Amino acid sequence: MNSFQPDYNIYFDSSDLEAALICLSENGYCVIKRMMPYRWVDELKSEIDRVLDPGQDLPESSNRYHMMFAEESEVLWRLMDHSPYLNFLRLIHGTESVCLHRSAAILRSPGESMGNWHKDHRGHIKKPKTANDILNRLSIPSGCWFYLNGSHPDRSGIAVIEKSHIIGWDGPEGYRLTQEGSTFCPIEASSDYPCNSMDVPGCVAICADPGDLICFAARTFHANVATQERRYSCGLGFRPKSDCIDAPWPLPQTASALAERLDSRHRSYLDGYTGFDGSWIAETD
Ligand SMILES: [Fe+2]
């Protein structure tokens, strides 16, 4: 399968992080192999089932999200005692002084079609209106995700557009950014609509194994590929404590509960953690 595959290396061992970060910086994404012991993968899937599908009633062709998954997961916190992951965090942030920024889990069922191309970064939004607008303004990797089924265009996973993270990138050839700026559509479209085709210049369908860490940069455009299986993924993001965020929502009770249950050696990762309030909307003036 050669379509949608780059002609340069995107796979790096966790002992070769400098090269991984060069690839991330140059191309907007990379895959770090075996970042998580494989035996944790099934445990994480069970945790995602517990929080997102406790009644085992997720319909076909649908999805559910948990936007504070680190508050529920035990397994993710094992990464904070796992030297390959700690080395990665230290190198990517340039400091050991980091706090939990945000986290998520996504469960998808077979039959879901490809998602819309988008970037998560919201720095172009002048007046933040939602929690995503508040939190997604830093130049830290937007995606540090474990695709627990792996990632493959024939089954499920993620695609990215190479080099789309570069400041000034204004859409793939033949496409234009929409007015809002988070997605793109064909140049000839008479009105904006989000594109969800794999057949776009620069599209790379990421192939990865369970336990690999798929990283993409703050502004990299990405989309979930069509889902042919029950698909589990989770993401964990930290930021330097020096990047203070004054969240306009009160600390959610679930975030306080995390501080209570977390082992004391991990509690300093919550200094600066804002939690996530998906119901918060800025007051209009
Ligand atoms: Fe996204």
pLDDT digits (tens, 9 = 90+) for 143-182: 799 999 999 999 999 999 999 999 999 999 999 999 999 9
User: Tell me, what's the pLDDT at 141?
Assistant: 82
pLDDT at residue 1 tops 50 = no
In the chain, where are the structural domains located? 11-270
Determine what percent of the chain falls in helix, strand and coil, rounding each to the nearest 5. 25, 25, 55
How many A from CA of 48 to the centre of ligand 1? 18
How many A from CA of 195 to the centre of ligand 1? 14
Mean pLDDT in residue range 88-105: 96
User: Tell me, what's the pLDDT at 284?
Assistant: 79
pLDDT at residue 131 tops 90 = yes
| Nearest alpha carbon to residue 161 among 205, 115, 213, 226 | 205
User: Tell me, what's the pLDDT at 154?
Assistant: 96
Percent of the chain with pLDDT over 70: 99
Tell me the per-residue pLDDT of 4-60, one tens digit each, with 9 for 90 and over: 999 999 999 999 999 999 999 999 999 999 999 999 999 999 999 999 999 999 999
Identify whether the C-beta of residue 13 lies closer than 8 Å to the C-beta of residue 87: no
Mean pLDDT in residue range 195-222: 97
How many A from CA of 260 to the centre of ligand 1? 30
How many A from CA of 157 to the centre of ligand 1? 12
Q: Identify the three-state secondary structure at position 106.
A: strand
Architecture of the domain spanning 11-270:
Sandwich (2.60)
